[in-house]
Amino acid sequence: MKDINEIIKKAKVYGFHEATFLDVSTIKLMDEVRSMCEDNRCNKYNTNWSCPPGCITLEEGRKKLSNYSKGIIVQTIGEVEDSLDFETMMEIEEKHKRNFYEFYEIIKERYENSMAFGSGCCTICPKCTYPNEPCRFPQKCVSSMEAYGMLVSDICKSNNIKYYYGPNKIAYTSCFIIK
């Protein structure tokens, strides 16, 4: 726990607005969330190794998660003018992803078998090799929480962190799990 508290403190210094302890037993990998991916509202379904159907199956995901008990949730929160302010949303998302990938490198240095679940699909390469060539950077590629079947709002609630911050705010949520 001492270790986790240190990481939480570091995450906040590093630029995340919120960070808290994640109890891995609260994570359920749900078929319903995967079905939402199939609806393809984000236009990423079947386009990237980090997204369904190219990423891990739920059964494989459950097996992996069973080896973990703790982690942290991180959030980047920003102000938007309204629900159509996509430009600001993208800026906040970019900031979140930048901090997320950099912070994952710090976590990996300390915890060899850590895993990360991001917000949105993997954007490491300008164009993903899916489906014709294998992933270029399997050690760096990160799936979203949703791609693993996680209902982010439920996980936030179970771990006492807000998911919704009000009508003019947007929060990007990601998490790391460690052994």
- Which positions lie near ligand SF4, rule CB under 6 A? 48-50, 122, 124-125, 128-130, 135-137, 140-141
Task: Give the nearer residue to ligand SF4 in terms of CB position, either 72 or 122.
Answer: 122
Strands 115-117 and 18-23: unpaired
Report the distance separating Cα 61 and Cα 86, nearest Å.
Answer: 32
Give Cα separations from 54 to 44, 64, 133 (angstroms).
11, 17, 12
CB of 132 to ligand SF4, least distance (A): 11
Report the distance separating Cα 118 and Cα 111, nearest Å.
Answer: 18
CB of 118 to ligand SF4, least distance (A): 11
Task: Give the nearer residue to ligand SF4 in terms of CB position, either 62 or 140.
Answer: 140
Task: Give the nearer residue to ligand SF4 in terms of CB position, either 20 or 99.
Answer: 99
Task: Give the nearer residue to ligand SF4 in terms of CB position, either 2 or 139.
Answer: 139
Spell 158-179 as b/e; 16+ CB within 10 A means b.
ebebbeeeeeeebbbbbbbbbe
CB of 97 to ligand SF4, least distance (A): 12
CB of 101 to ligand SF4, least distance (A): 11
